[in-house]
Structure formats: C-alpha cells, structure tokens
Structure 1
Amino acid sequence: MTRTLIQHAHILSMDPDVGDFDDADILIEDGRIAAVAPKLSVADAEVIDGRGRIVTPGLVNAHIHTWEYQLRGIGSDWVGSRDYHANMHQNLATRYGVRDVYLGNLLGSLNQMRNGTTTIVDWCHILRDAEMTDVAIDALEESGIRAVFARGTVKPPERPGEVPYHKKPFPREEIHRLRTGRLASDDRLVTLAMAILGPDWGEYEVAAHDIRLAREYGLINSAHTYGRKGKRVVEDGYPRLAKEGLLGPDHNIGHGNCFDEQELKIVLDAGCTITATNLTEMLNYEQPAMLGRLIRHGAMPSLGTDCDPYFNSSMLAVTRHAFLHQRELDNRSLWHAGQWPAKTQHSTLTRDALYWATMGGAKAFGLDKKTGSITPGKQADLVMFDCRGMNIFPALPGGNAAHIVVMYAETSDIENVLVAGEFVKRNGKLTFNEQRLAALQQELLASRMRMFEEGQFVSRPVQRGPQPEEFFI
C-alpha cells in the first residue's frame, strides 16, 4: 500500500459533512482519500508539507474542445458563431489528421493539469473515423488526466451529392466498438460519453436517435444548445424531446443562454444539466451565461473553458469570471429593483463559484462519487496552492480561503496537482518528461503552421463567415 500524507494544510473540502480546516491533514492510500482530520498519525507515508498552502479538490472542466489547443490565439476579432464556424469547422478542422488530433489532445490535457484541472469533459467533435478516435483517447491516457471522452462528430462544409452533417445520426458502430471494448468500464480514468448534435444542430430524428443510442449503452449525452429562436434546426426540439421522455439527468446542455423561461423549466424539470462556458458567452452571446438563472430554479451550474482559439483555457480564469459575471448581474438587478445597496449578503459568493468548478462539473457528468470534493473514499484529485508567493501573500492568515483561490490564485501559485493520488504537477512543474514535452511542442507548432498554410488562413484581417441570415445556425 502506498501512502501520502499532506500535513498542516488549509483544506477546502467542498463537502459539508467533512467541513473545512485551517490546519489539518489529508491521508491518501492507494490513490484514494483515506482520512481528512487534524493531527493524523501515520507510519510509512510520504509526507508533504501543507503549511502556507490551501488544498482544494481538483477543478472539473465540464466542456472543452481539447483538440483545438494548437489553434490558440486566432479568434481575437471573430464575431460569434458565424466566424468561428467559418474558420474552424468549415476550414481548419478539415485540415486535421490523426497526428494533429493526438498532439492537440495531449498538450491540451497537460495544460489543463498545469492549470489545476484534474478532470475534463473532452467534447471531441473533430473525429472522422475510428483511427482519429483512438489517438484522441491515447493522448488523454498518456497525459494522466481524468477525462470523460465525449466522442463527437465533425461538421464539414456541405458538398453537392453528400448528406449534410445535420442529417446524419451518430455512428452506432463507433459507440458499440468503444463501449464493448476499450471504454467498456466506468471504473477508469478515461470514460465514455456522447457529444451529439441535439435539436439545435441536427434534425429532430437525428437528435432522438442519438439520445436513444446513448441510453442503450448507458452513456451521458451532451449537446451544444445555442437556443436563439429562429436559428435552431428544430424550433421546438427540446419540448418535443421532453414529451417523448428523451430528456433526463443523462442529457447535458452546453450553453443554453437563449432558452426562454418556459424552455428552461422544461429541460430542468426533466433533470437535464447545463454547463456554462461563461468566457465564450461573455465574448459572443447576446444573453448572459447560464448561472444565476439555474440557481433560481434550484439547479447546479457547471463550468467549462470551451474554445482555446479565444482565450487561455484556465479553469481558474473561468471560475473567477463566472463569479464576477454573476455578481455584476446581481448588482444590476438589485439596483433596478430599488434595493441598492444590498441590505443582506449577496446571493452569489466566491465559494459558490468554486463549488460550480468542482462538484458542479462532477455532478453533471456522474463523477461525484469519484471526485469533486475532498471526501474519504473518493479518488485523490487534489490541487495545492502555495500562498506564500506575492500573488497571494499575506492573504491566507485570516483571509477567506475560497475567496483567495477564486480571486487571487494564478497558475504560478499551483504547487502540486494530484490525479488519483499520482502527482501530475509537483513543485510547480509538470511531472511529464521535459524532453518529450519540448519535442511535442515543436511538432505541434509545425502542425499549426501546416494547417494555416493548407487553409490559406491568416488571423488578420479576420476571415469572415457568411452573414447571419446566410449561415445555417
């Protein structure tokens, strides 16, 4: 049995039954949390000094297109989905080969762990065939991250004589191959889900087929749902799916900003979860991120970073902005209601945002029995923040620990990251082989430049997509 003992740490467990501690220990045995308490006495354990550190559960990135990693920084002046789809799905995504998918997923996953994320939902909609699928999984496994591999499908340009993507049901043979083979078990670091078109992006019969297929194989399915009326493939898609009993806790919705109150109530009453990618939504959407509206309905938000071409996919940044975005909306609501300044504590706190970024994501994808909190029996997915550096010092003694993590901490303050008890970042550095990482970075850079050349892509001036009335959605 291998034992690791983190001593004298400030612990934010995110579990009300465990509680928080100003000075306590965490015992890890064979990758699982064995005990959380002050002054644990353990023989034959590797001891990690937790003094001056805050320990939290690993962050859960509930929506990321990891394959886009090598296309970072190109979306600076894009306008909404119009330019994103023109440049990505209609152009650069078509240039990806098998090795490109592998490189994006591997380096993208390593970057997530460097930033304190221990679990990702890899919404992988670049996959044209089984070979691409397998290398995407290879990369996740090699990185050491915990991942829900949401196997998706491509959205290529429409060509004469070909069936357009929005009419294509999910390939049954691929789900059968994965679910009866490599990803048959849910008791592993990389597990399977389905990234489906849903009724905003696919025809109704396609959406219904895909959800039924996911249920047949016991999988969570997730759909992008922009929700703007007049731009959906199926205008009444979600109400129809609800009437047929096809919605439930096994259906996750990405975005959903433009749902009206009746539509939102329908999907939440059915038990669906909704993941906010608030940075994308602040950048490109006409409606606020789906945070406060979920809370008012008694639902739990989860958070995701979404698209690397727009911004650094750090869950610390997403969590901070989620809190600030919702606090701004709350402040404005109070002002318009004549209740400013607030007479009582605000309804949204930094601790809430940290919960969305940990347990919120874990619950959305059925991982809350494994991760999301520092609870005995769960996997030891942990982040240790060193609060002695200038970013944070001297906030920790007497400061609110959750507020410190959300509002002060940066990647440079993350000292250690553990996934299932294994160090993936230690003493501020990834444990991944440095020489191999350097070689992979050079290969990924060559991949990026080759795709730019093949796609005749330049980031400035911006390559515009069709105007909104011409664009499919």
Structure 2
Amino acid sequence: MALTLIKNATLVTMDPEIGDLEGGDVLVDGQRIAHVGRNVSAPAASLVDGRDRIVIPGLVNAHIHAWEYQLRGIGADWVGFRDYFANIHNNLATRYAARDVYLGDLLGALNQIRGGTTTILDWCHVLRDAEMTDAAIDALEESGLRAVFARGTTKPPTREGGTPYQKIPFPREEIRRLRTGRLASDDRLVTLAMAILGPDWGEYEVAAHDIRLAREYGLLNSAHTYGRKGKRVVEDGMPRLAKEGLLGPDHNIAHGNCFSEDELKIVLDAGCSITATCLTEMLNYEQAAMLGRILQFGAVPSLGTDCDPYFNSSMLWVTRHAFQHQREMDNRSLREAGKWPADQHATHTRDALYWATMGGAKALRLDSKIGSLTPGKQADLAVIDTRGMNIFPALPGGDPAHAVVMYAETADIESVMVAGRFLKRNGKLVFPAERLKKLNAELLESRQRLMKDGGYVYRRAPNGAPPERYVF
C-alpha cells in the first residue's frame, strides 16, 4: 500500500493520549494512520512538508442538506418555517429531478472538501423515488467524501384526496433495496442511514414504525426535533418513544433547541445524540443552540451546517460560531446568577474543535474510525497553512486549536485527505478542473430552471418592527 509521511507539522490530534505535537509527523499507510509522533522514519513514503502547517482531524458535518446547493443566496431573510416550507418543500423541492439532486449533492460535497470537512451526514429529504436516491449516492461516491447518506422523504403539499406526509411511514422497500444492495456494507465511504419524520413532524405510529425499520436494518436514524410546545405533531412523542425503548445511541436529534430540562434528560439518558446547527438556528430559532445544556448532562454536542440557501455551509464558520455562541451564553448565565465575570472560562476554542471532530464522529457512530489523529483510525485529515494573513503570525507561540477555530478560512485549507487519499492538494481540489467547470455551468442551468418552473423570483423582504424590549 502507498505510504505518505507528513513531516514537522503542528498536530492537533484530538486524542487525549497523544495531545498536540509541535514538529510532529503523521505516517499514513493505505487508508489508515500508521503512526503519530516525532522523528518518524519511512524511506519509502511520499513526503509532505508540514512546516508552518497545522494538521487536524477532518471536520465532521453532522447535519447538511447537500441537495440544496443550487438554491444558495435566497433564504437569509426568510421567516422560519413559514417561508422555508413555502419556498422549499412546497415549491422548489417538488421541481427537482434526479439530475438536479446529483448536481446539488456532488457540488455540495466538493464544497465541503474545500473547507476541510471529510465526513458529512447528508440529510437528503428531497427524494421521491429510487432514481433520485441513486443519483444522490452516485454524487457522493464520485466526490470521494466520507458520507453517511441519510435517505429521507419529501414533505410536499397535500393534494386533494391525498394523504398528508405526516401519516406516511418510511418506504420499507427502498431501505431493503439499499441495505441489501449497494449500501449493504458499513465498511465503505458512503454508508446508509434514515432521515425520518420523528414525532415533531409525523404521527406517533409513523415515528415508531420508522425507528423500528431502522433498527431492523441496523441503521442510524435522524429526525428534525425542536421541542416547541404546542407546535409538534405529537406533543409527548419523545417520552413515549423512550418508554417503548425506541430511543438510543442509534437516534440522532437535529436541533432540540426548545427541549425542556426533563425532556432533554430523557433523550440524553436514552443515549441519543444531538446536533446543533448554530448558524441556521440563530437566524430563526427562539432558543439558544443545544451546546452547553448538553454538556451539563455529560454528553457531547456535534455540529452541522444545515441549509445552503442561508449561507456558505462552512464547518469552519459553524465551529467558530458555536464557540462564540456558547461563550456568550456562559457569560449571560453567569451574570444572571450574579457570578460574572468567571474566574476561568468554561468554554474554550479547543472544545468547539472537539465538537466539530470527535463530537460529530460520536453522533454518527464512527468514533472508532474517524474524529482524531489516532493510529489505526482512517486517515481523514486537513492540513492548514498558517503562512497566509488570515492566520499569520498566530504560530509559533500560540494555541494551534485557537488558530484553527478563530482564524482559519477555506483559503488556508491547503490539503484534505479522506481514507488516505488526497482530495485537495496544494490549495486546489484534486477533482478534474474541466469537469468541475462543466458541472458548475450545468448546476446554474438547474438553478434557473427550478426557479422558473416554480415561479420563484427573489424579492427583498421589508424590514419588520424591532422587538419592543430586548432581553439582556
């Protein structure tokens, strides 16, 4: 197998037994990390100069709708679910064909690689049939990214005489087809999960059916669950699922911002993971991202970017915002308790980087394979050049985790490796440039056709009235 040796880098391993290493080396043998240390010798290896570079585990985006990539630049001023549902689920999503899904997923995945992300959970809820499903999988496989493909279902408007989506259980035949076919193995780059309605969006019997189906086929299942009182299809759905033994480490909750303390304890005691998508949530959610509250129960947050119509799905941005958001919440909570300022801050930049690496790996049940620079794990990593003006001169003499979280941008991601294979090298994607150019042109045509077919024309929203009183 091919050997690659990254020499003399600053390593932020996220492995507590190894820690950070200045002047450290990473030896990659085939798909795996063979050795992490100093003064590593491997005469047969291809050498990568790590001087003035930081090497981190690849970022893990635990919640993204990659198919929305061609719908960028239209949603920042939408008002919550009213406008998202009206414009996406009730309109533009219904116009997608298999090729549109392929284009969105492929270019969305390549954009993740550009920014140092090596693994995503692709929450794909635009799919109406097997052709669209296969197109999404084709795209993810072509990108080279590690992906947990969460096969979802649509939320279209109900036609006269039709069945509302809240009453429709997950299509068993589609999961059987995938799990006994191309996604039968969990030892491949693209693996299968289920993106289900859950009790916030579906009836209880549907939620229970879907979780049982996922367990029958040994799959992670994930649901959008917010916990808003009076705005859920099944108000007591999560406690009921827990009582029936249907919640566990195989259930991932996206968001969870409005959970009461009792309900949060129920889902975390059951072993569920929770993924915060801080940038999306702060646009329209009424409660803070689920970060510090999870930590108080001894659990670990994971992070995701969520929706491209709102902003660039950069895990660097999300990680930075998660740190700043939780630090703000710490300070406000201390002030309310009369204990501000803190003697020492509870939340550090290194914590946020952990959420974006090991936190995501744990949520996706991949922490034995990815999330840290640990010998034996898959060689998923990002090499960050510190010589550019975004970062310089943060090192030497500074905290490399701080440099990554607070200074690094996509332009500083020099190289990205997934399973021992470089997908970005010397600042450029390895993906063929001419093919990318053609795909970009085709994606632009897809965007324009989707908007034309849906009669969608972007119009600036008027400014609403500010709150009468700000909470502070």
Give the TM-score range, shorter chain: over 0.9
Hey, what does 2:407 align to over in structure 1? Answer: 408
CA deviation after TM superposition for structure 1 residue 349, in Å: 0.5
1:143-195 Cα distance to aligned partner (Å, 9 max, x none): 00000000000000111111111100000000000001100000000000000
Paired with 2:18 and 2:179, the residues of 1 have a C-alpha distance of 35
Taking the aligned partners of 1:450 and 1:246, their CA distance within structure 2 comes to: 42
CA distance, structure 1, for counterparts of residue 382 and residue 35 of structure 2: 17
Alignment-mate amino acid for residue 216 of structure 2: E
* TM-score, reference length from structure 1: 0.97
Distance 1:214 1:338 in 2: 47
The 8 Å contact of residues 334 and 342 in structure 2, kept in 1 or not, is answered as yes
Alignment of 1:340-419 (within 5 A): 340-343=340-343, 345-419=344-418
State the AA in 1 paired with 2:417.
L
Aligned equivalent of 1:134: 134
Aligned to 1:420: 419
Q: 1:337: Cα distance to partner?
A: 1.6
Between the aligned partners of 1:210 and 1:309, the Cα distance in structure 2 is: 28
Q: Give the whole-Å Cα distance in 1 for the aligned partners of 2:333 and 2:105.
A: 41
1:432-470 deviations in Å (ceiling 9; x for gaps): 00000000000000000001111111121459xxxxxxx
Q: What TM-score results when the alignment is normalised by the length of structure 2? A: 0.97
| Deviations 1:338-384 (CA, angstroms, capped at 9, x unpaired) | 222212x2111000000000000000111111110000001100100
1:193 alignment partner in structure 2? 193
Please give the per-residue CA displacement for 1:406-429, whole angstroms capped at 9, x wherever unaligned.
000000101000001111000000
Matched residue SS, 1:246? coil
SS of 1:357's partner is helix
Instruction: Show the counterpart of 2:470.
Output: none
- Residue 195 of structure 1 aligns to a residue whose secondary structure is strand
The 8 Å contact of residues 335 and 341 in structure 1, kept in 2 or not, is answered as yes
- Alignment correspondent of 1:262: 262
Equivalent residue number for residue 438 of structure 1:
437
Aligned AA (1:42): A
User: Distance in 2 between the 1:151 and 1:3 partners?
Assistant: 35
Q: Give the structure 2 partner of residue 302 of structure 1.
A: 302
- Measured at CA, do residues 146 and 365 of structure 1 come closer, stay the same or move farther in structure 2, by a change above 3 Å? same
Compute the displacement of 1:76 (Å): 2.3
State the partner residue of 1:235: 235
Map 1:146-165 onto structure 2 (within 5 A).
146-165=146-165
Q: Is the 8 A contact 2:76 2:283 kept in 1?
A: no
Letter in 2 for 1:442: A
3-state SS of the aligned residue for 2:392?
coil
CA distance in 2, matches of 1:195, 1:333: 34
Residue 284 of structure 1 aligns with which residue?
A: 284
The Cα offsets for residues 299-348 of structure 1, whole Å up to 9 and x where unpaired, read as: 100000000000110000000000000000101111222222212x2111
Q: How does 1:99-248 map to 2 (within 5 A)?
A: 99-248=99-248
Separation in structure 1 between the aligned mates of residue 353 and residue 460 of structure 2, nearest angstrom: 38
> Which amino acid is the alignment partner of residue 117 of structure 1?
T
Identify the residue that residue 75 of structure 1 maps to in structure 2.
75
SS at match of 2:89: coil
Q: What is the rounded CA distance, in whole Å, between the counterparts of 1:9 and 1:77 in structure 2?
A: 42
Alignment partner, residue 314 of structure 2: 314
Could you say which residue in structure 2 is the equivalent of 1:429?
428
Structure 2 runs not aligned, ≥5 long: 463-472
Tell me if 1:249 matches 2:249: yes
Return the offset for 1:227. 1.3
Counterpart AA for 1:371: I
1:75–1:459 contact (8 Å) kept in structure 2? no
CA contact (8 A) 2:122 2:147 kept: yes
Letter in 2 for 1:454: D
C-alpha deviations, 1:180-237, integer Å up to 9, x for none? 1100000000000000000000000000000000000000100000210111000100
| 1:93-134 superposed Cα distances (whole Å, 9 cap, x missing partner) | 001001000000000000000011000000000000000000
Question: Which residue identity does 1:449 align to in structure 2?
Answer: Q
Query: Aligned Cα RMSD in Å?
Result: 0.8
Aligned residues: 462
Q: Which amino acid aligns with 1:70?
A: Q
Rounded Cα–Cα distance in structure 1 between residues aligned with 2:360 and 2:119: 9
Gaps of 5+ in 1: 464-473
The alpha-carbon deviation at position 35 of structure 1 amounts to 0.1
Deviation at 1:2, TM superposition (A): 0.6
Which amino acid in the other structure matches residue 28 of structure 1?
V
1:378 counterpart SS class? coil
**Secondary structure, counterpart of 1:6 in structure 2:** strand
Q: How does 1:14-93 map to 2 (within 5 A)?
A: 14-93=14-93
2-structure distance, mates of 1:370, 1:123: 21
Distance 2:163 2:354 in 1: 43
Q: 4+ residue runs of structure 1 moved beyond 2 angstroms?
A: none
- Secondary structure in structure 2 of the residue aligned to 1:88: helix
In 1, Cα distance between equivalents of 2:236 and 2:54: 47
Give the aligned residue type for 1:427.
N
Q: Which amino acid aligns with 1:403?
A: H
1:449-460 alignment to 2 at 5 Å?
Answer: 449-460=448-459
